[in-house]
Amino acid sequence: MLKESLEVPPTPLVTDMNLVLFDLDNTLLSGDSDFEWAQFLISKGALDKEVQEARNQEFYDAYKDGTLDIHAFLDFQLAPLARHSRRKLDAWHDEFMTSRIRPIIGASARALVQRHRVERSLMAIVTATNSFVTGPICRELGIEHLIATVAAQENGCFTGMPRGVPAFKEGKVERVEAWLESLGLCWTSFASSHFYSDSHNDLPLLMKVTDPVAVDPDDKLRRHATEHRWPIISLR
């Protein structure tokens, strides 16, 4: 007879590394890649200017107000990906990086990332913006890990739908914890954990780390950061 085995939960690996998480839009970027991508598609004639420009601004204003319906926004944001071939989308994205994104990556943002790289921190960008838009930006910044809203694909083509939990508000915490778990890690595996963000929408994740940092914060986050004596910095 086989002896019954007892499963012992694995002990999380404890490291001397820091965990460093970055929001992307209006944090490492001095602008919003979501908004800029829609404006770029309008400039290419891929979206109707009169209708889409107003919707793009409406969603952006709702995000800043904290009233964004993330699922309605993703329907708007991801639908254009399903209308074009991946080859065309990739070519457009190369142009988008040159014309819209590299000009809004400042020297201070690159220096901050480099400082944490030298410290050998485990770094990730955590963003609600979809993975197609943000993947090349993450690589441009030299950050190995990206936790973004996933743009679903089938047979190499985008479906126009998200996959899994959007990386937005509480969803950022859920997605980060799932990522850490996939690495055999957890919050307490690190000497410290940092999250840099500009937005009050990111308060759930900011309150989860040991070292939250407000970066060029909106008014709501600035008030919260001041009240709780969090560092406030500028990368502009």
* Cα–Cα distance for residue pair 122/184, rounded to 1 Å: 13
**Alpha helices (H) in the chain, listed in sequence order:** 33-43, 49-65, 70-78, 86-96, 107-118, 131-141, 170-182, 203-206, 219-227
Contact between residue 65 and residue 145 where contact means Cβ atoms under 8 Å apart: no
Give residues with Cβ within 8 angstroms of 172, minimum separation 6: 126, 128, 147, 202, 204, 205
* Cα–Cα distance for residue pair 11/236, rounded to 1 Å: 42
Half-sphere exposure of 191 (CA within 13 A, CB side): 8
Which entry of 23, 32, 34, 198 is annotated as an active-site residue? 23
User: Is 25 one of the annotated active-site residues of the chain?
Assistant: yes
Which entry of 16, 25, 198, 211 is annotated as an active-site residue? 25
User: Is 23 one of the annotated active-site residues of the chain?
Assistant: yes
Contact between residue 194 and residue 18 where contact means Cβ atoms under 8 Å apart: yes
Residue type at 153?
Q
In this structure, the number of other CB atoms found within 10 A of the CB of residue 65 comes to 12
Phi and psi at residue 232, to the nearest 5°: -125, 120
Active site amino acids:
23, 25
